[in-house]
Amino acid sequence: MEKKLAVVALGGNALLRGDQAGTIDEQEQNTTETLENLIFLINEGYDLVITHGNGPQVGNILMRNDAGEQIYNIAQMPVDICVADSQGGIGYMIERMFRNVLNKHGIEKNVVCIVTSILVDNGDPAFSDPQKRIGKIYTKEQADELNLKKGWIFKEEIKNDGGYRRVVPSPVPIDIMNHSIIRDLARKGNIVIAAGGGGVPVYIDEKKDVRPAEAVIDKDLASSLLASLIGADEFYILTDVPYVYINYKKPDQQVREFLNYEDARKYLNEGQFSKGSMAPKIQACLNFIKKGGKMGVITEAFKLADTKYGSKITMEYEDERR
């Protein structure tokens, strides 16, 4: 009998907390604590594919880019290379920490990281309306100069005492390169780390060549697409809250532990979920369920093994917990 296949998307707080400096010691400790929760799935007989975010890390890479150019005249690398850099660095860290966690539990498994390119449509409307903020905050004068020199687009920051940040497109992912290899490796019992940070966005030009896109892809949407393409049974998004809520942080806040497809879509359309945080997670789970996935789960990074936590989204209501 074939094992169940699960894709587990590690959110930003699974690697780096908001109140931390971002040292490698902090990231390794956070990663280890998160991966300990995944032993539960291995013991339950699941094959695993892991995806992850890269927001703070790729932001730091972009700022190093800036500093290198300004201080040492080192040529800046484009966004796709920075995303690939973050995939390699974070993937290596997850791989090494997971090998140590497996060793602690006496489990013998290979762990492999794949730097993943993800196909987008170069005509996606996002390219004409970039909204995703990346990199450091600049003054108005600096932003204007960089706009003239590099063609970068900036938007004013409302938070953090103002200033301007570069914005890039966030197109919808339409295919994942090497997804069949990811599936085959996972189905042979290997733990695969892929599609980190939403993957490296690329498009196919008129010559059928693969070209880089100066963009970033939503990690949850990319992870959902990967889960569908490889035929995963379940899709987990690990974040910083234990449940999905409606009327979040209001006096009438309510937990939604079980959601069917139609109710989740209704709440999403009503604007119950923040566009910058929970909404893309709900959309990612709905995409997965619509394409045949059995269950999407959104829960806190360190509560996966405790089945009394987590919101489960299915096509119809489940009569009992998983």
* pLDDT value of position 320: 41
Q: Rounded CA gap, 1 and 41, in Å? A: 17
* pLDDT value of position 162: 80
Q: Which of 65, 199, 281, 296 is catalytic?
A: 281
pLDDT lower than 50: segments of the chain? 319-322
* pLDDT value of position 321: 40
| Per-residue pLDDT tens digits for 20-38 | 888 999 999 999 999 999 9
* pLDDT value of position 20: 84
Q: Which of 219, 287, 293, 296 is catalytic?
A: 219
Q: Taking a C-beta distance cutoff of 8 angstroms, is the pair 166, 145 a contact? A: no
Q: Which of 11, 12, 199, 296 is catalytic?
A: 12
* pLDDT value of position 303: 84
Q: Which of 30, 53, 132, 199 is catalytic?
A: 132
The type of residue at 4 is: K
* pLDDT value of position 78: 94
Q: Taking a C-beta distance cutoff of 8 angstroms, is the pair 14, 31 a contact? A: yes
pTM over 0.85: yes
What's domain 5-121+174-314's superfamily in CATH?
Acetylglutamate kinase-like (3.40.1160.10)
User: Annotated catalytic, 13?
Assistant: yes
User: Annotated catalytic, 281?
Assistant: yes
| Per-residue pLDDT tens digits for 79-132 | 999 999 999 999 999 999 999 999 999 999 999 999 999 999 999 999 999 998
User: Annotated catalytic, 43?
Assistant: no
Q: Rounded CA gap, 303 and 271, in Å? A: 26
* pLDDT value of position 160: 64
User: Annotated catalytic, 104?
Assistant: no
Domain spans in the chain, listed from the N-terminal domain onward: 5-121+174-314, 130-168
| Cβ neighbours of residue 199 closer than 8 Å, sequence gap 6 or more | 83, 87, 116, 117, 118, 173, 176, 217, 222
User: Annotated catalytic, 132?
Assistant: yes
Q: Where does residue 4 fall: left (phi above 0), alpha (psi -120 to 50 degrees), or beta otherwise?
A: beta
